[in-house]
Amino acid sequence: LKSKIEFKNVSFKYENHGKLILNNLNLTIPKGNSVALAGISGAGKSTVADLITLLIKPNKGHILIDGINSNNINNQFWRSKIGYVSQESIIFNDTIKNNIDLLGILKNKNSYKDINKIQKAAKMAFIHEFIQSLPNGYDTLVGDRGIRLSGGQRQRLFIARELFRNPSLLILDEATSSLDVDSESKIQKSIDFLKGSITTLIITHRLSTIKNVDNIFLIDKGKIIQEGNFEKLSSAKSDLFYKLLKLSN
């Protein structure tokens, strides 16, 4: 990802489903920006993510990545450049450092150089201090499905794993919807920290996580109805914006 991702008049509906999920959608995600797609459930937000990851193809219109039509892009190569964090964090019964380097990329996780790489990802996910406070630090066993960690800690460990892979694009799909306020604020700090270095797309129906993103697209019934930063949308007195704001409180 060298410049931007563009949706040009993109429409999509599932086979044998008469209703359009997306209808002539246009949006641009510049490299290095933090962008949010906000809307109520069923608005089409996750469909946008599925299109960006090339899991599905538009029925109409084009998706361009650095000006190249998505039909001409190697799916596997592009997906290797994407970090994806969903609402359900997947944590394995292993050490924290093995959960971050899940694919075993590093040959010697005990070396100074390699542990620094793992710690860098943890710091970006704002979980490093918590890990350091544990008696066994990065060698701590987290238990089956991360049972020894809180929901927020599991989610931040999940984010650290995706950041460790050094993605060009990080997608957070309702990643904070089931978290408490404190855990959500730490993930918000991580999003703010990544601005300018990793392109970030946040999909959410809650606005509390996205107050500092570069641009927010309000999506309703498969269409972008408004866009702007948090301050601009706050002053526009949008009914949808205030409905989502109420859900965030």
pLDDT(110) > 80: no
Share of residues in the chain with pLDDT > 70 (%): 97
Q: Mean pLDDT over residues 117-127, rounded?
A: 94
Radius of gyration of the chain (CA): 19
Extract the runs of DSSP E, i.e. beta strands, from the chain.
4-12, 22-30, 34-38, 60-65, 68-69, 82-85, 169-173, 199-204, 215-220, 223-228
In Å, the largest CA–CA distance within the chain is 57
Residues with Cβ within 8 Å of residue 239, at least 6 apart in sequence: none
What per-residue confidence (pLDDT) applies to 196?
85
Sheet of 22-30, strands arranged across: 22-30, 4-12, 60-65, 68-69
pLDDT(238) > 80: no
131-181 pLDDT, tens per residue? 999 999 999 999 888 888 988 899 999 999 999 999 999 999 888 777 778
Distance, CA of 231 to CA of 74 (rounded, Å)? 38
144-155 pLDDT, tens per residue? 888 889 888 999
Residue type, 38: A
Element (DSSP H or E) covering residue 121: helix 112-124
8 Å CB contact between 228 and 221 = no
Residue type, 169: L
pTM above 0.75, yes or no: yes
50 or 19, which is more confident: 50
What per-residue confidence (pLDDT) applies to 249?
60
pLDDT(242) > 80: no
